[in-house]
Amino acid sequence: MASVKELFDLSGRVSVITGGATGLGLQMATALAEAGSNIVVCSRKLENCEAAAHQLEKLGAQALAVACDVTKPDQVEAMKEATLKKFARVDVLVNNAGRAWSAPPEEMPLERWQQVFDLNITAPFLCAQSIGREMIKKKRGKIINIASVAGLVGRNPRNYNSVAYSASKGALVNFTRDLAVKWAQYNIQVNCICPGFFVTPLNQELYERNKENIDRDIPLGRTGGPDDLKGLAVLLASDASDFMTGAIIPVDGGALAW
């Protein structure tokens, strides 16, 4: 029987976090590094990845910065090969990269709809497919998809008006469930975190415009903070979650409990 410390220990593991250079991705990368994992940070801007990697190395982790547009299959493969070249393994994939485009449904440009879907659901598929092949060989792995409470319910357009974001995150939720079933035979656990409102550089302006309404919709009366995803990320990346797969977990201050 393993101790609790052993179950949550990520020493020697290798975790890939897409969109890991800033915001929620960096929060989760930090958590996994603090638990002992080595980290691969990837996003389109190499300089941001390098800055994040340097920050993570101060925690004692080995870190690799990779420029990668995760909507491009060839770049995803190159990112995986760079990971294997440095670490010779990959244990955890956090599909965090995402985007939104705000517009009423009747005015949503098709080009923007497609861009949101490319990053929010096609990219997680491409990353899971590529890295999952390595996990299948090892008969173990952890995939953590970052969706949103927007993928679970309709949203008040007064505060949130991105039908493409909500639809794509809903697709990611069910992608999680189905992939979990498909890959259970390979001992790969696939789970999904659905954050509520966390203030990040991408939504700072939206929050400032709607702070009173957004806070009012959260029973705890505040938005997510800099530590609020860390524990769950470590749980889902560690042996402590070996009997969890296909789980969809909101972290929303109670917003879905109204």
Q: Which residues are catalytic?
A: 165
DSSP for the chain, please give it. ---HHHHH--TT-EEEEETTTSHHHHHHHHHHHHTT-EEEEEES-HHHHHHHHHHHHTTT--EEEEE--TTSHHHHHHHHHHHHHHHS---EEEE-------B-GGG--HHHHHHHHIIIIIHHHHHHHHHHHHHHHHT-EEEEEE--GGGTS---TTT--BHHHHHHHHHHHHHHHHHHHHHGGGTEEEEEEEE--B--TTTHHHHHHHHHHHHHTSTTSS-B-TTTTHHHHHHHHSGGGTT--S-EEEESTTGGG-
* Best CA proximity match to 32, nearest among 3, 53, 61, 64: 61
Which two tokens mark 113?
């709809």
CB-CB contact of 163 with 171 (8 Å): no
